[in-house]
Amino acid sequence: MLRPGGLFLFDTINRTRISKLVMIKLCQDWPMTAWMPPGLHDWDQFITPAELRDMLARHHLREEGMSGLKPGIAPPALIPLMRQVKKGRLSYAGFGRRSAMVLSKDLRVSYIGHATKAAPAAKATPAASATPAASATPPHNTRRPAPSLNSGHDREGFWRYEGFLASQRQ
């Protein structure tokens, strides 16, 4: 659940021919460049920006902006990096540093964005019930602290994922 005014962040892959070529064929299927586990992505599950906007609206979320997300280096430079990852000569972290993602106007492959939860429509209340109940919910500005990116379970999850990918190379 998201409180009114709450922020919803998203990143996903668009369902286009180019996204199928890049995310399925190039990264998963083709032996020369595949560095992701086969079957990791299902093109039929990818979401177009229009579909995402419809879903957001259905759940009373107002889209506040979308941007494309792409590698910060030219595509021809990515292929040797993918091959190095596949062969275990380059870590996923090293790959991430060398191909650092940047924002783009191009939403054809991958995109990110954010939306906010709309405030509920005002309800007419009788004057007799104008006093809030003693057991009212806490104010909307009460927030839990954000989880630390340096917390132990985050690092453990990363290493479990890294171990899974290393096992796929063998």
pLDDT digits (tens, 9 = 90+) for 44-53: 999 999 999 9
pTM strictly above 0.75: no
Q: Which of 74, 64, 86 is nearest to 8 (CA)?
A: 64
Angle, vertex CA 119, rays to CA 115 and CA 125, nearest 5: 170
Joined together, the tokens standing for residue 6 give 């709450």
Angle, vertex CA 97, rays to CA 95 and CA 167, nearest 5: 30
Percent of the chain with pLDDT over 70: 71
Cβ–Cβ contacts within 10 Å for residue 81, how many? 19
User: What CA–CA distance (Å, rounded) separates 20 from 24?
Assistant: 5
Higher-confidence residue: 62 or 1? Answer: 62
Q: What is the mean pLDDT of residues 101-117?
A: 94
Q: What is the pLDDT of residue 125?
A: 59
Count of residues in the chain:
170
Are the C-beta atoms of residues 1 and 10 closer than 8 Å to each other? no
Residue 1: CA count within 13 A, CB half-sphere? 3
Cβ–Cβ contacts within 10 Å for residue 36, how many? 19
Mean pLDDT score of the chain, rounded to an integer? 78
Q: What is the pLDDT of residue 1?
A: 79
